[in-house]
Chain A
Amino acid sequence: MTDRSLANALRERLGADALKRLHGLRRRLWLRRSMRSATFALAGALIGAALVQLLARSAPLELAPLAMAAVGGLALLGWAIDSWRRRPSLTETARRADAELGLRERLGTALELVAAPSDGGPELAARQLTDARARLGETELDAAFRPQLARRPAAAGGIALALLVVLAVWPNAQDSVLRDRAAAREASRQVAERVEKVAKEAEDKNAAAKDPRRDKLAQELRLLARQLREKGDDRQATLARIGSVQEELSGLADPQATEKDAALNNLARSTSRAASGQPEANPDGKAEQAATDLEQLGEKVADLSREQARERAAALRQAAQAGAASHPEIAQRLAEAADALQQAAQTATEQNQAAAKEALDRAADAFRKAENERQLQREVASAQSALQEGSRQVARSGQQQPGASGQPGASGQPGGSGQPAGSGQPGASGQPGGSGQPAGSGQPGASVQPGGSGQPGASGQPGGSGQPGGSGQPAGSEQPGASGQPGSGSQPGSGSQPGSQPGSGSQPGSGGGSTARRIPGGGLRTGGFTGPTQGNKAFDVTGLDDVFAPLSRIGKPGDPSFIAGQGGEGGNEQTGEGSGVGLQNNPAVPYRSVYNLFRDFANNQLDRQQVPITLKDLVRDYFSRLEPTTE
């Protein structure tokens, strides 16, 4: 019999009031069961949440809040389902009420008699129903089925709650790991966007050129971007991936790309001028313009006078000679074109004119090829720049320590003590010693940095006075050339005297941390130098300010060339001794004579190391401004 039909029968035989009271008892019983079930659910949720919190303490668990919410949701769902399933029927309510109210099974029996009237004698059954109705009417419903909490689950839930409170108050060391991961992931995402942009540009530009190297470049970048998006929360792995791609890109990069770029501009400019005969042609030195000019020259070979052809051929030959070092193929083609042009001018035959035109076209193709190569190098450089910037961004992500701003790394302290890269590149500043190579075997130490402590001879040219160059100070750490400035001794040095340069240099604590990879950390270099027994000549520093203008703008926070420092591996102590025969140097060395050395060294360093393009441009601009003008 269903509850509804039983209720109808009850209303008929026991009365509406009895049925109402039974419904009231059922609601109260349901409430008790729901509360009991809620106790279990709450305890389960609290225990689950506490377990999740404990787990989140032992390992970085990004999904901890979600897991706790899921536990709570599951508990709520379980409670709802359990409460619904435990909704008591009228028969069940009657039986429970008998036990709860001490009715001695009156209600349960009455409901069965109502449901199955044949059970028992009619007289006794009627008596029983009357008795049950009377006892039910006397019942105080408020006393029945008071809500109860399950004690054990409640106790367990209380313990779990206390544990949760403690865990909530107690700092979680894994939070910093999670923040770090999130920051790394965000940084990786940004880097991935940047890398994808570069890849797209490479693909777009390669649509016409069809250069497989560009395809490879774009493919590598796409792959990297995907990896960064998928697994960007591991900073070290991300840096490793970026570094790996950087290594592969370095295979595509031409170390002489910048020089070739400038040389190509010059070559294109001179070629255009030679081909067009106009001195102001192609002022920007565009290779495509040069190719066009060559093709146009080929078109009008027949129209050229012999003199004009000879002049153009000579000019082309001159341009070829000028560009032979940087672009031998173009130079070769230009030379061939010049020869063909001159030949055509001399013979004026159509065959030679056609050959000249063909040679000029080949030269034009060589220019276009070089231009394509230049574009590739630029894209590679752009990609490298993006990767380097990205690696720096990833490395700095999530780091809120002051060290992120790049403390000087001279002290070699990890992290915040890193010296700005600008000042941490003493190689350039240490180069002034190049001109002052210690005499004889006086290369002190095995310092990688030229002009390091072991190259005191810059100014330490054993002059006539026999004074140790630069008062024997090793190249300074902050401004290495200062002590290495070529001395201008007042007295001619006695170069014939054997000089003794037992140089000793030490570089403790060099390589102060830098977040930028492969940026050589600057080191505080101290070293003693015992120069020749005779001092230098008198020293004149007039007019040298322009040459050694301090690079104060480099390496300051906010400067585009600024690179955050990172803890390095500590410096190497380098000591060495050198001894040799001193040379009789001039008391004053014009910077024109050493300019090329400085410039070449700087270019080499820029090419060999991962230096931001902005910094490269800065250095090159610096040397461009210093470039001696031909007077």
Chain B
Amino acid sequence: MTETLAAVDRIEPERFAELAGTIEREVGRFIVGQQQLVRQTLISLLAGSHALLEGVPGLGKTMLVRTMAEALELGFSRIQFTPDLMPADIVGTNIIVEEGGERKFRFQPGPIFSNLVLADEINRATPKTQSALLEAMQEHRVTVAKQQYVLTEPFFVLATQNPLEMEGTYPLPEAQLDRFFFKIDVPFPSEEDLMAIMERTTGTAQITVGKAASGADVTAMQRIAREVPIATHVMAYAIRILRGTHPDTDGAPELVRKYVRYGGSPRGAQAIVLGAKIHALLEGRFNVAFSDVQAVAAPALRHRVILNFEGEAEGISTDSVVRAIIAETPTEAPE
């Protein structure tokens, strides 16, 4: 039985790229453009972590998560965060049920008990509710009435937030932001993409998304992703990039020294390395390259770099900070 499970859980490395390509293609049938968004979201999923999507309303954030759930043949639930949302509304609660003439408490799972959870506009909920979600994200389990309930795997939370509407919101504190593997910016579509969106959404054609992978496949992909070898000097490069986010580090870029208050935590380096491994597999390689590190550095660090007042006042983006760090961090000593 164990051998059978192992055989099921394990896939060939070449199969990883094939499945991922299929997922991206299926999602791409519905989500026009946004290849980077799709890929980074998929990397977060395959890393077994969670992603925070930030973008103005109407860019397809919810649609992306819904489409991905359909393509992955995973359970999907959506939680619309509002100020009056309570933790129990997320994790579930014990209710009294009558069974066999007896009344007893039975746990009623909340929407968190799903494979793909869309936490829409997470910054609209109160911190208390936010922390309930974040605890579940971190522990992959919830505790209700002293009873722990393990969440089903794969468990993937995609939270969204709107950067424009700040009134009546509760911005996520830095410690909780750090728990998101990636923070993915959802860009506004290009003209061509908008044209395609109009054609697909205003016509009569109905686009359906096929099943690209199962939950077991995702779990197997998550496992094999961690086995990708990474050379010492590549890992050192990732660490140098992370250290470059700290203004008090020797050799930190001028932009960091001037505008950054706090740099990324070790979780940032973990995100970079793991994301780079998955990126390498998605690129069809079996080792991590410097380019993989550079590709995932921005989503892994942008929410972990805290700007100071001057940086905020000057309108410096954390993306520009990360770009500066990558530009000024040599992969190896020059010849």
A108-B233, A108-B234 given; A121·B227 CB < 8 A: yes
Q: In the complex, are the beta carbons of A104 and B230 less than 8 A apart?
A: no
Chain B residues 1 to 31 lying within 8 A of chain A, measured CB to CB, are 13
Which residues of chain A are within 8 angstroms of B332 by Cβ–Cβ distance?
95-96, 99
Which residues of chain A are within 8 angstroms of B331 by Cβ–Cβ distance?
99
Interface size grouping (class) on chain A: 20 to 34
Secondary structure at chain A's binding surface: helix, strand, loop or mixed? helix
Q: In the complex, are the beta carbons of B231 and A109 less than 8 A apart?
A: yes
Q: In the complex, are the beta carbons of B227 and A109 less than 8 A apart?
A: no
B174-182, B211-219, B253-261, B288-296: which lies at the interface: B288-296
> Which A residue sits closest to B231, measured CB to CB?
A109
Contact with A along B288-319 (1 / 0, CB 8 A): 11110000000000000000000000000000
In the complex, B229 has a CB within 8 A of chain A: yes
B267 to chain A, nearest CB (A): 22
In the complex, A106 has a CB within 8 A of chain B: yes
In the complex, A545 has a CB within 8 A of chain B: no
How far does the alpha carbon of A131 sit from the alpha carbon of B231 in the complex, in Å? 15
A95-B233, A99-B332, A105-B234 given; A120·B227 CB < 8 A: yes
Q: In the complex, are the beta carbons of B13 and A105 less than 8 A apart?
A: no
Which residues of chain B are within 8 angstroms of A109 by Cβ–Cβ distance?
229-231, 234, 287-288
How far does the alpha carbon of A131 sit from the alpha carbon of B227 in the complex, in Å? 16
In the complex, B99 has a CB within 8 A of chain A: no
Which residues of chain A are within 8 angstroms of B122 by Cβ–Cβ distance?
none
Which residues of chain B are within 8 angstroms of A105 by Cβ–Cβ distance?
231, 233-234, 287-290
Which residues of chain A are within 8 angstroms of B228 by Cβ–Cβ distance?
120, 124
Q: In the complex, are the beta carbons of A128 and B287 less than 8 A apart?
A: yes
Q: Of residues A104, A105, A119, A125, which shows the largest number of chain B Cβ atoms within 10 Å of its Cβ?
A: A105
Q: In the complex, are the beta carbons of A128 and B286 less than 8 A apart?
A: yes
Contact with A along B228-256 (1 / 0, CB 8 A): 11111110000000000000000000000
Contact with A along B319-335 (1 / 0, CB 8 A): 00000000000011001
Which residues of chain B are within 8 angstroms of A108 by Cβ–Cβ distance?
231, 233-234
Interface size grouping (class) on chain B: 20 to 34
Contact with B along A103-137 (1 / 0, CB 8 A): 01110111011000001110111011001100000
In the complex, A33 has a CB within 8 A of chain B: yes
Which residues of chain B are within 8 angstroms of A127 by Cβ–Cβ distance?
13, 286
In the complex, A229 has a CB within 8 A of chain B: no
How far does the alpha carbon of A32 sit from the alpha carbon of B335 in the complex, in Å? 10
In the complex, B39 has a CB within 8 A of chain A: no
Which residues of chain A are within 8 angstroms of B233 by Cβ–Cβ distance?
95, 105, 108
How far does the alpha carbon of A182 sit from the alpha carbon of B228 in the complex, in Å? 77
How far does the alpha carbon of A113 sit from the alpha carbon of B290 in the complex, in Å? 17
Chain A residues 1 to 60 lying within 8 A of chain B, measured CB to CB, are 32-33, 36
Q: In the complex, are the beta carbons of A104 and B285 less than 8 A apart?
A: yes
Q: In the complex, are the beta carbons of A112 and B286 less than 8 A apart?
A: no
> Which B residue sits closest to A92, measured CB to CB?
B332
Q: A104-B291, A108-B231, A131-B287 are in contact. List 10 more A-B contacts (CB 8 A).
A: A99-B331, A105-B234, A109-B230, A112-B231, A120-B227, A120-B229, A121-B224, A124-B224, A124-B227, A131-B285
Could you show 25 A-B contacts with beta carbons less than 8 Å apart?
Answer: A33-B335, A95-B332, A98-B289, A99-B331, A99-B332, A104-B287, A104-B289, A105-B233, A105-B234, A105-B287, A106-B287, A108-B233, A108-B234, A109-B229, A120-B229, A120-B230, A121-B224, A121-B227, A124-B13, A124-B224, A124-B228, A124-B229, A124-B286, A128-B286, A128-B287
Residues of A within 8 A of B (CB): 32-33, 36, 95-96, 98-99, 104-106, 108-110, 112-113, 119-121, 123-125, 127-128, 131-132
Q: Which 3 A-B pairs have the closest CB atoms?
A: A120-B229, A121-B227, A104-B289
